[in-house]
Structure 1
Amino acid sequence: MRHPDWQIRIITTIQAATERPFCWGENDCCLFVADVCLAACDKDPAAQYRGRYTTEIGAKRVLAKTHGSIEAALDALFVRVPIAMAQRGDALVFDGPNGITAGVMWAGQVWAMTEQGARPIPDQVPLIAWRVE
């Protein structure tokens, strides 16, 4: 279940992520989504990953050994919903420049980490969405 003030919590989380550049193991696509999930409902899809990697290769190794994929990590805590039913604060994945990328739905847009911090990603269509609650 989402917190009664989930919208304010998510706005605060997204705002903080917009001010921090991308950094593997600190402020990357999966941790951004996990932080939004924590803000919304106290469920952390990255609990088993935090502090275990500092590079892209390290992230891929830990993911391969733990859940196997971003999708499986999100499946472990959340229920998939049709893309058309994705709402504010829901987790999603899309095909980014470096492959499958985690993001969140907010204000009718896909938000994800960029080199400059969290930003809306124009023209991205989610491949899978999860109801975060």
Structure 2
Amino acid sequence: MPDLGGYLAEVGGKPWVWGAADCCTFPADWLILCGRGDPMAKWRGAYKDETGCAALIDEAGGLLPLWIEGLGEPDYCEPDIGDVGVVQMWGHAAGAIYTGKRWAVRSARGWAAASFAPDDVLAVWRHG
């Protein structure tokens, strides 16, 4: 597995760009580094702002169905370091990477680590 800490440090300094460096491309780019295909290939660059992103997610029936389309069925497992998931936070779903104790999520200000109740972790996929 690539260095997760190094990846988080690198991403934390990058500006937020809808469709290129956002809450969905953040874990997708990690999976690419881990040797998986790009789960965002179909949507990368397909939206340029929050409105376009919301429309794409709504059209898919939510972020979880969109991720299932890009990654296949979730592994439904306890997360391990480097696994990715869809988490529910502040009334919205977001892509995240499990760090071993918390989930790393991306915002316009960089990334942050957060703990979630089991019911707020909607799906988990293995990183490799």
TM over 0.5: yes
In the alignment, the residues of structure 1 paired with residue 7 and residue 55 of structure 2 have an alpha-carbon distance, to the nearest angstrom, of 27
Equivalent of 2:20 in 23, 26, 42: 26
**What aligned pairs does 1:29-40 form with structure 2 within 5 A after superposition?**
29-40=23-34
**TM-score after normalising by structure 1:** 0.78
Unmatched 5+ residue regions in structure 1? 1-5
Match runs of 1:1-133 below 5 Å: 6-8=1-3, 10-65=4-59, 67-76=60-69, 77-83=71-77, 85-121=78-114, 123-125=115-117, 126-133=121-128
Contact 2:64–2:122 under 8 Å retained in 1 = no
Alignment RMSD: 2.1
Distance 1:12 1:73, change over 3 A: farther
Count, aligned residues: 124
TM-score relative to the length of structure 2: 0.80
Structure 1 moving runs of 4+ over 4 Å: none
The 1:78/1:15 distance shift into structure 2, 3 A limit, reads farther
Contact 1:112 1:119 in 2 (8 A): yes
User: How far apart in 2 are the matches of 1:49 and 1:92?
Assistant: 17
Please state how far the C-alpha of 1:29 moved relative to its aligned partner. 0.5
Name the % identity. 21
Distance in 1 between the 2:66 and 2:39 partners?
A: 6
Stretches of structure 2 lacking an aligned partner (at least 5 in a row): none
Shift of 1:78: 4.2
